[in-house]
A and B are shown apart, each in its own frame.
Chain A
């Protein structure tokens, strides 16, 4: 099995590495030439406009989407070359909060949160119940929700249950796909706080896909911005910014500053031309 470097240029231990990643769906190329190295313990915000490939990149990190070219490495091992059973074991080291929580409709909240623990076979049934209660408490949900079905919960509560499920097995890596999308500002802030608290208590490596700049500023150590391929020339890199949140604010790149300030810019001109 192919192995990668375990440290970056600053000597930090790398947990995730993406090399020359290209992802295609049928004839459409979504990601091209993506290189990204994430050291252990870092929180990275992946930002960019809708449809630029942030979620595709996030899913590639856990091997849900297979690369057309290039590779994704986790703890030095290429996910594409891993046998199925080893890949399943590696995935248990991740926690994934999906955009709409992706809770299992047929199960109760308690069964949803317990699912990764049952999969890992790391706890006896009595201990699983205690872990479920503690994780629900950690995300600010009362014990009563344990027997409810996901359809009985509000959007914010579903996100919290999704977060509790992602945290249940104390994963080394947490992947968040647009954790605050579709939520009101107050619940969004609650989710941001939960992400920060998780980072503090679990010392996990996190990747947060978002187009909410408040989330990016609040939770990230590092911000990576991706640009849609159809707006780039063939020789331009798809990652147009990689730095700290403070550097993001000072960026001179017009594409970055427009996104940060939420300005449509030339998109408005395009709309007028099309009218």
Chain B
């Protein structure tokens, strides 16, 4: 009994130490990446390649997800709202949910799944096959060469992806509401316009910047710390998505509360920023 308790305490202790070490290592890694980001401009070729991989190739999947989530929101909200005779308010609900929450979170989740895992697997393979060591041996800094372009691409392009998800969601929700549920188009848009402000759009886009930075840093960090062999690469790719997803949700809450607090401080309820 005593031994089992001792082992359990030891296991928990080890887990906590490992978690604290990983967090510390990720913080140092992020600081290192940030230092390189501000001290030297990345090479054009590597930056363009990252922009293409992360931005252009993510567009179709983000647009598709946005469209479907807009339509799903219409389907799920319609019956509750129609019972109350408020179906023309669907536009307000769908658009507000999309631009403040679902657009940024879904775009970030798709980016974490499509790009984050790929980045972790690619960098992990480079670690396992000694390509990162080779870079270092040739006097190149791997963080500057491999991490900075990816972080920049994620941070710069995720707002565009979010706006694309928002736009396609709005279009999808409207199309389903107007053409399938036969809601009056004029009132649908009028209500949406009255409820959703530019601040709401800005709020969602600003949150996405934090999501982009978290996805890139976590995924690159997992790739750099990859274990040996194919199993190590697989674990790195999985961990990159899981940690990124958890961080997206945590950031969604904390950044959301912070932005709301700031907004309510400067522009109390009832007034609009823009």
Contact = CB atoms under 8 A, between A and B. Distances in A.
Interface of A: 59, 62, 64, 84, 88-89, 91-92, 94, 96, 98-100, 102-106, 115-116, 119-120
A119 B138 contact: yes
Closest 3 CB pairs of A and B: A92-B139, A102-B134, A102-B130
Contacts of A106: 49
Nearest to A55: B130
A67 B136 CA distance: 17
B133 A120 contact: no
B137 A62 contact: yes
B66 to A, nearest CB: 30
Interface of B: 49, 125-126, 129-131, 133-141
Contacts of A100: 129-130
Contact of B138 (A59, A99, A116): A116
Given A91-B136, A104-B134, A84 B141 contact: yes
Greatest chain A CB density within 10 A among B129, B135, B136, B137 is at B137
Contacts of B135: 104
Contact of B133 (A59, A116, A119): A59
Contacts of A119: 138-140
Greatest chain B CB density within 10 A among A62, A84, A102, A103 is at A102
Given A84-B141, A88-B141, A104 B136 contact: no
Contact of B139 (A88, A98, A102, A104): A88
A92 B136 CA distance: 9
Contacts of B134: 96, 98, 102-104
Nearest to B43: A118
A64 B136 contact: yes
B133 A98 contact: yes
Nearest to B45: A111
Contact of A105 (B131, B136, B141): B131
Given A104-B131, A105-B131, A64 B139 contact: no
A99 B139 contact: no
A119 to B, nearest CB: 5
A102 B138 contact: no
Contacts of A64: 133, 136-137
Contacts of B49: 106
Nearest to A112: B134
Greatest chain A CB density within 10 A among B130, B133, B140 is at B130
13 contacts: A64-B136, A88-B139, A91-B136, A91-B138, A96-B133, A96-B137, A96-B138, A100-B130, A102-B130, A104-B126, A104-B134, A105-B129, A119-B139
Nearest to B140: A119
Contacts of B130: 98-100, 102
A105 B7 CA distance: 45
Contacts of B138: 91-92, 96, 115-116, 119
B227 to A, nearest CB: 13
Contacts of A94: 137
A91 B133 contact: no
A115 B135 CA distance: 9
A102 B131 contact: yes
B33 to A, nearest CB: 14
Contacts of A59: 133
Contacts of B125: 105
Nearest to A87: B139
A64 B131 CA distance: 12
B265 to A, nearest CB: 42
Nearest to B134: A102
A120 B137 contact: no
A152 B137 CA distance: 24
A242 to B, nearest CB: 25
Contacts of B140: 88, 115, 119
B35 to A, nearest CB: 10
B205 to A, nearest CB: 31
